[in-house]
Chains A and B, each alone.
Chain A
Amino acid sequence: MTTNGVSIPAPLGLLAELTHRCPLGCPYCSNPLVLDKRDDELEVATWERVFKEASALGVLQVHLSGGEPAARRDLVEIVKSARDAGLYSNLITSAVGLTPQTLRTLAEVGLDHVQISIQDSDEASADHIAGYKGAFARKRALAMEVVKLGLPLTINMVVHRANIARIPAMVELSLSLGASRVEIAHVQYYGWALQNRAALMPTREQVEQAVAEVERLRETLRGRIVIDAVVPDYYARFPKPCVGGWGRRSLNVTPAGKVLPCHAAEVIPDLEFWNVREHSLSEIWRSSPAFLAFRGSDWMQEPCRSCALKDKDFGGCRCQAFLLVGNARAADPVCHLSPHHHLVQHLASVHRDQPYVYRHS
């Protein structure tokens, strides 16, 4: 596919944010501070069309997320329409509000994979982080249902100062629940997480220990469980290739139908997002101003423009460049070559044991 001589790759993944509603209040939530309202959520018929258009564009996998996707009463129909469109369907859930009955029906209509978040291996701490008493027990119970139904299960654990020391215990818990895969994701500081940065930020010693522990666990558990880890941004020397490059591999549809190149993109001012209510997904992918803004490398400034790694990490994260440096075209300051890298190093050293600001709608 080409537009104006620029070759446009086919996207692989679609993140479908079905709703921003969620019973949990996790202080690291990366949803925007201003959430889409229930009345504005896309109806099933529109999702059905979006999934068909996504499949025709080359999308292989749809990640059904939120908020809590089970907050939608029509979740089964939505999953079914994703499967009917030929997509691999992945349900990303907090497990709170998802009943075993609904889960069984989802499995029957062809759901491919379930990912459940767990806040900690320690029950009291887990419920405290989620801001929801009893969440941990429900997650454990539903995880077992997933495995009983023969669906593959991933446990996702977001790590930060309060739970980072218990990574081995959390991996052990995932194994005991029957998960085939575990995702250890250090908090990324967007949305609510940015508000809570000083309360969540781990120390350098904690991060170094965590990285070593993950390596050791990968070795000892090889063949028993797959461990994927997302590196802690603020302690890195090189930036992450955010979303695999802007407008290269994935797109994100918000509950109200806006299509974003990444789920945090709305923080960047003056980007024009198109909505699936008004445009086809293919038009949006090819021509919407937000997707064109940072696709390719013409938008780059130094040190990215002349960098040998610019086609590997794509200058890092545009949202982070804007949030920390005030310029979405700047190098992600996580990069040690950024003139603002010292800022990230400073922020990583700020730790304040203060109450979380819980996400609320």
Chain B
Amino acid sequence: MTEVADNARPKLPRGVRLTHNEAQGGWLLLAPERVFKADTVSVEILKRCTGEASIAAIVDDLAKAFTGAPRERIHADVVKLIGGLAEKKLLELA
């Protein structure tokens, strides 16, 4: 898995789009020749991958929005999702 530093600023590259489709039952990540279903947690993370917010800022923001979850747990989820997607070229780390 690609390493994800706290100051990295993740961004969906050109050719990767997060979209909502009723007939397909929810949120999807569209990429070259591939389609991934995005679960609720992934959608919340991906919506924040604007290229402006750093990993640390995304985690802080999520911790504010979902007060029940501990920050370390959110951090681990974010790093895992983003690292996995970066390896598949579905996210850019600036």
Interface residues in chain A, defined as those with a beta carbon under 8 Å from any beta carbon in chain B: 10, 12, 56-58, 60-61, 86, 88, 90, 112-113, 115, 150-152, 154, 180-181, 183, 222-223, 225-226, 228
Contact = CB atoms under 8 A, between A and B. Distances in A.
Nearest to B17: A88
Contacts of B23: 10, 56-58
Interface residues of B, number: 20
B48 to A, nearest CB: 22
B25 to A, nearest CB: 8
Contacts of B17: 88, 112
B22 to A, nearest CB: 8
Given A10-B23, A58-B23, A60-B19, A154 B33 contact: yes
The 4 closest A-B pairs by CB, nearest first: A58-B23, A152-B15, A10-B23, A113-B32
A90 to B, nearest CB: 7
Given A60-B21, A222-B87, A90 B32 contact: yes
B87 A10 contact: no
Contact of B86 (A88, A90, A115, A223): A223
A181 B13 CA distance: 13
Contacts of B21: 58, 60
Given A10-B24, A60-B28, A90-B33, 17 more contacts: A10-B23, A12-B35, A58-B21, A60-B30, A60-B35, A61-B35, A112-B17, A112-B32, A113-B15, A113-B33, A115-B32, A150-B14, A152-B15, A181-B32, A223-B86, A226-B88, A228-B33
B2 to A, nearest CB: 5
Interface in B27-86: 28, 30, 32-33, 35, 86
Given A57-B23, A60-B19, A223-B2, A151 B14 contact: yes
Nearest to B90: A226
Contact of B32 (A10, A150, A152, A223): A152
B88 A61 contact: no
Contacts of B87: 222-223
Given A12-B35, A113-B32, A60 B24 contact: yes
B29 to A, nearest CB: 10
B30 A88 contact: yes
A16 to B, nearest CB: 15
Contacts of A112: 14-15, 17, 30, 32
B24 A58 contact: yes
B89 A180 contact: yes
15 contacts: A56-B23, A60-B30, A61-B30, A112-B14, A112-B15, A112-B17, A115-B33, A152-B13, A152-B14, A152-B15, A152-B16, A181-B33, A183-B33, A223-B87, A226-B88
Contacts of B30: 60-61, 88, 112
Contacts of B24: 10, 12, 58, 60
B32 A180 contact: yes
A180 to B, nearest CB: 5
Greatest chain B CB density within 10 A among A10, A61, A88, A112 is at: A88
A86 B17 CA distance: 11
A222 to B, nearest CB: 7
A228 B23 CA distance: 27
A180 B87 CA distance: 11
A10 B88 CA distance: 26
Contacts of B28: 60
A228 B89 CA distance: 13
A121 to B, nearest CB: 22
A223 B14 CA distance: 17
A361 to B, nearest CB: 27
B72 to A, nearest CB: 25
Contacts of A90: 32-33
A88 B29 CA distance: 11
A322 B24 CA distance: 32
Given A58-B24, A88-B30, A228-B33, A151 B88 contact: no
A33 B13 CA distance: 39
Contacts of A222: 87
A9 to B, nearest CB: 9
